[in-house]
Amino acid sequence: MNSSMRRVVFFDLDGTLHQQDMFGSFLRYVLRHQPLNTLLVLPLLPVILAGLLLNGRAARWPMSLLLWATTFGRSERHLKRLEASFVHWFRQHVTAFPVVQSRLTDYLTSTDADVWLITGSPQSLVEQVYFDTAWLPRVNLIASRMERRCGGWVLTLRCLGNEKVVQLEQKIGAPLRLYSGYSDSEQDNPLLYFCQHRWRVTPQGDLQQLE
């Protein structure tokens, strides 16, 4: 089918396909299992909070600094084990939103839709949590990225807010013309702006169409 005739659809992940904030849950999980890192996190909190206040909630470096402080001083092997332990825990506790996941499945089974999952959660976590789902290999995934630097993990990309627009434009070109978008957050309004049909996911996992 001609690419110009295909429907391009995007889904958020946290609060959209499932209830929880995966990255926030990961940070809290890591601190619970290595509480000594709290001694580094606490002095940096004023800097982190000021960065978010001045640069907006979607800013990369404040959350990257928080991730670094949470993971600093631990070997890569240790952090990978902790990551795997978190994935196991999260899979047991995550609350799926079946209404939204059903809509995702509908698009994936159609022959004229390209589905993009665009999330602020780190790609490594998303791929491990949902490794056994039928839908993950069939979506185009754009996510935040973690790397090891300066003795801990940092965010080299934080895929939130306007950054979602930038990343999708790099993949499919500008200006964006999307058929439909699904998100629980106003932070995704920059991307929803380009959607013909806009859907807000409620805290209960229901769908409300936006004007």
Triad 137, 139, 142: Cα angle to 5°: 110
Structural domain range at position 167: 3-210
Of the candidates 50, 27, 49, 25, which has an alpha carbon nearest to the alpha carbon of residue 153?
27
Q: CA-CA distance, 12 to 123, in Å (whole number)? A: 13
Question: What pTM value is reported for the model?
Answer: 0.93
The number of folded domains in the chain is 1
- The strand pairing partners of 182, in sequence order, are 11, 199
CA distances to 73, 142, 205, 209 from 195, rounded to whole Å, are: 44, 17, 20, 12
Q: Is the pLDDT of residue 2 over 70?
A: no
* 153-185 residue pLDDT tens: 999 999 999 999 999 999 999 999 999 999 999
Question: pLDDT band at residue 1, thresholds of 50, 70 and 90?
Answer: very low
What's the CATH number where 140 sits? 3.40.50.1000
Q: CA-CA distance, 207 to 101, in Å (whole number)? A: 11
Q: What is the DSSP letter of 111?
A: S
- Tokens of residue 188, six digits: 């995704």
pLDDT of 211 reads 78
CA distances to 51, 62, 64, 73, 199 from 150, rounded to whole Å, are: 20, 16, 12, 9, 41
Asked if the bond preceding 175 is cis, omega within 30° of 0, the reply is yes
Computed from CA positions of residues 26, 28, 32, 34, in that sequence, does the dihedral angle turn out positive or negative? Answer: positive
pLDDT of 108 reads 96
Q: CA-CA distance, 165 to 31, in Å (whole number)? A: 32
* 93-132 residue pLDDT tens: 999 999 999 999 999 999 999 999 999 999 999 999 999 9
